[in-house]
Amino acid sequence: MAENRETGVKNVIINNLVSAASYVQTLRRCYCEGHCPNEMINGTCEIKPGGQCFTAIEEDWDRETGTFVYDTTYGCFPADERGFLQCKGRIVPHQRGKSIECCDGYDFCNKDLRPHIEERTTTVSPSVLEEGENIPYIVLLASVTLCITVFLLVIACVYLRYRKKEDHRKQQYYNKHYPPHRYPNVEMLPNATLSNFIEQTSGSGSGLPLLVQRTIAKQMEMVRSIGKGRYGEVWLAKWRGERVAVKIFFTTEEQSWFRETEIYQTVLMRHENILGFIAADIKGTGSWTQMLLITDYHEHGSLYDYLQNHVLDPSSLLVMSFTIASGLSHLHTEIFGTKGKPSIAHRDIKSKNILVKRNGECVIADFGLSVKYLSDTNEIDVPPNERSGTKRYMSPEVLDRSININHFDAHKMADMYSFGLVLWEMCRRCMTGDKIKTADDYVVPYYNCVPNDPSFEDMLHVVCVKKIRPQIPLRWETEDVLQTLSKIMQECWHSNPAVRLTALRVKKTLSKLDTDITSKIV
């Protein structure tokens, strides 16, 4: 019994010694730095079974250098701290810029570990926002954005208000010409024609009343575009089946619309050789404005177009010349009286601004550059730019800037110079000859001296320096009408404005010529 008890004690002791040895064998030593347990400073820590040695790299911001720095720490994760959970991933979740690697294979195994972390080159600290140091920058950015937004809103409001005031100003300017009362309404006379309205309501010779004009403008049916010029586009339109011409001005030519509308609505302006004015209207909102000018429609178009496709005989040439002179004379003449008409200078006479009627007569159109002279106040509303009109048709004094723009007769004489060139264009297309009738091809004045689109310098050199004028063909001497017109045009384009004929003088001369020709026939 005693021997058995002794043997059992020995076995227990042996088993304990084996277990102790086994326990000692499972202990591992780790290299530590910054995480040594029990404040050990010898750089060694021990892990029990289930523990882990680790190496960690953590990103930090250096305020002095303005760059990222990386700190490496070594240590032990005891088993009771569940350290293996932290060793499952190389990148620590929810922690910016930190990486851990673990091991337990041999002593100091963590000293050789090199956890991977992506280095940054930016100079912006990710911790600045978290620490609240970026708040001033956010406030500044928000303030600038707010200021820019408010500024743009103010600009938009100012622009819309400006457009609204401009539209109101245009309407006020337009409304003052004719009050709508005392005139028949278009809707009340459904069968009336434009000529009926003009006869009933334009006793002053200045056009239809405002209410009628606006109603007509709203009822226009646009058909097709028939031309495009410097100031706008011209459309053929219909009103109650009647054909009319509608000139739609470009938005940049607002001043031309105002001037032309004002000239057409001048008292006693209506004349058989002035393009018949029907209505003017402004359509628009705060963002766009459409300016319309409605006039009589003439299917032959401009004199410029007509001469390219038609030749003239002496009789038709005389009619055209006389009617142009008649219209120009009416423009230039001041009519005195309670409702008198001021003297008007066109300032852009050319074949493109003269239209041909169905009966062969002509009418003057396009008054966007015209000026009026008020004799009672001695006022003339001339824009500051003394060079007006089309360069090819400009008089010498306009080209060399010697014209006195404050002297109204100077503008009328400039019109007569341009009228002389128009006469030359028409005379070239007039047939002459006994057995074989011939006419020259249509060309514009100075076609052989300057380019198609001449500059001021080109025209100045030809007209003022060289004093060149269009050539007078010898064949004109064989026809009375051409012979008379050749003398008239040469006096009209004389270099000295004071020598030039007046429109009234030309009109009387051509009237007498027509009488003489008629008497010879009879």
Residues annotated as catalytic are 348
Give the Cα separation of 515 and 518 in Å (integer): 5
Locate 205 and state its tokens: 């010779």
Mode of pairing for the β-strands spanning 67-77 and 34-35: parallel
Please give the angle made by the CA atoms of 328, 333 and 337, to the nearest 5 degrees: 145
Q: How many CB atoms lie within 10 A of CB 503?
A: 22
Assigned token pair, 471: 């050539």
* Nearest alpha carbon to residue 393 among 295, 505, 503, 489: 489
- Tell the burial category of 253 from Cβ atoms under 10 Å away from its Cβ (0-12, 13-18, 19+): middle
Q: Which residues are annotated as a binding site?
A: 247
Q: Quick check: 325 and 419 in contact, CB under 8 A?
A: yes
Half-sphere exposure of 124 (CA within 13 A, CB side): 5
C-alpha 327/C-alpha 276 separation (Å) is 12
Nearest residue to 198 via CA among 261, 291, 265:
265
Query: Which residue, 361, 360, 325, 316, is CA-closest to 346?
Result: 325
Annotated binding site for ATP: 247
